[in-house]
Amino acid sequence: MTWHATILTLYPEMFPGPLGHSLSGEALAQGTWALEARQIREHGLGRHRAVDDTPAGGGAGMVLRCDVLAAAIDAAASADDPRPRLLMSPRGRPLTQARVRALSAGPGLVVVCGRFEGVDERVIAGRGLEEVSIGDYVLSGGEIAAFTLLDACVRLLPGVMGKAASGVEESFEGGRLEYPHYTRPRDWEGRTIPDVLTGGNHGAIARWRAAESLRLTRERRPDLLDPAKP
């Protein structure tokens, strides 16, 4: 069955954008997944199709209205639509490869892209939106975050990656960062490929890679090795 992504955005023309190229673009053309970007403004109010308003309590910026966003969500996904509804948000739970794997194994996604200062809090509970962050920094809108989320999910769909195995040995799978890669030439500017990789001893290669994986993870991301992490 086709994995179906529906994006709610004020900039539907941004899509498929980068997702229309390379692996995700080929998979889109082949129908492995489907992408529908819907304009929130179609549900805007009045002659100017207003979607935002000033924040209650004052302060800078504008807030996406809950009634407008709810109407856009309701038009895009019926109440019995089984797809998870996500809101891209710096306040959300940080995205992980484990979560990506679970989402890509499901029926697809409904993704709301915020803009301005964010969205009226009430629509998050009112429409069961799960807030998802792509990292501890602030983007100007949810679209680039949605590209990131979708790219990570789509590459795991069956048949999208050339070699099925390349999905399981990567960084984060198994809680480790990936080992270093090398290819020809053997000697480049005086830097050579580690002998073990060209020696043909597959057991030794596997041990070297596992050790490098562990060394890099310890150095760069000790949090991944800490079982107490959330």
d(CA 167, CA 171): 9
**Shortest distance in whole angstroms from residue 209 CB to ligand SAH:** 32
Residues 134-153: x where in contact with ligand SAH by CB under 6 A, - otherwise, as a string:
xx-xxx-xx--x--------
Binder among 89, 104, 213, 217 for ligand SAH (CB under 6 A): 89
C-alpha–C-alpha distance, residues 126 and 19, integer Å: 30
**56 binds ligand SAH, rule: CB under 6 A:** no
Q: 90 vs 108, which CB is nearer to ligand SAH? A: 90
Any idea how long the chain is? 230
By CB under 6 A, residue 108 contacts ligand SAH: no
Nearer of residues 15 and 179 to ligand SAH, judged by Cβ: 15
Q: In terms of Cα–Cα distance, which of 175, 118, 174 is closest to 142?
A: 118
The label of the residue with tokens 């194994």 reads: 105
Q: Are strands 191-192 and 52-53 parallel, antiparallel or unpaired?
A: unpaired
Question: Residue 46 is which amino acid?
Answer: G
Cα-Cα-Cα-Cα dihedral sign, residues 93, 97, 100, 101: negative
Shortest Å distance, C-beta 127 to ligand SAH: 15
Q: Which of 157, 113, 128 is nearest to 24 (CA)?
A: 157
- Which of 67, 117, 151, 169 binds ligand SAH (CB under 6 A)? It is 117
Q: Retrieve residue 185's tokens.
A: 């030439």
Which of 32, 39, 97, 133 binds ligand SAH (CB under 6 A)? It is 133
Indicate whether 94 belongs to the interface with ligand SAH (CB under 6 A). Answer: no
Candidates 51-59, 111-119, 197-205, 214-222; binding stretch for ligand SAH (CB under 6 A): 111-119
* Minimum CB distance to ligand SAH, residue 138 (Å): 5
Residue 27 backbone dihedrals phi, psi, to 5 degrees: -65, -35
User: Is position 63 an interface residue for ligand SAH (rule: CB under 6 A)?
Assistant: no
* C-alpha distance from residue 25 to each of 34, 101, 105, 201 (Å): 10, 19, 19, 38
Stretch that binds ligand SAH, among 71-79, 98-106, 109-117, 203-211 (CB under 6 A): 109-117
Instruction: Quote the CA–CA distance of 119 and 112 in Å, as a whole number.
Output: 10
- Interface stretch with ligand SAH, choices 13-21, 22-30, 71-79, 114-122 (CB under 6 A): 114-122
Enumerate binding residues for ligand SAH (CB under 6 A): 88-91, 113-115, 117-118, 133-135, 137-139, 141-142, 145
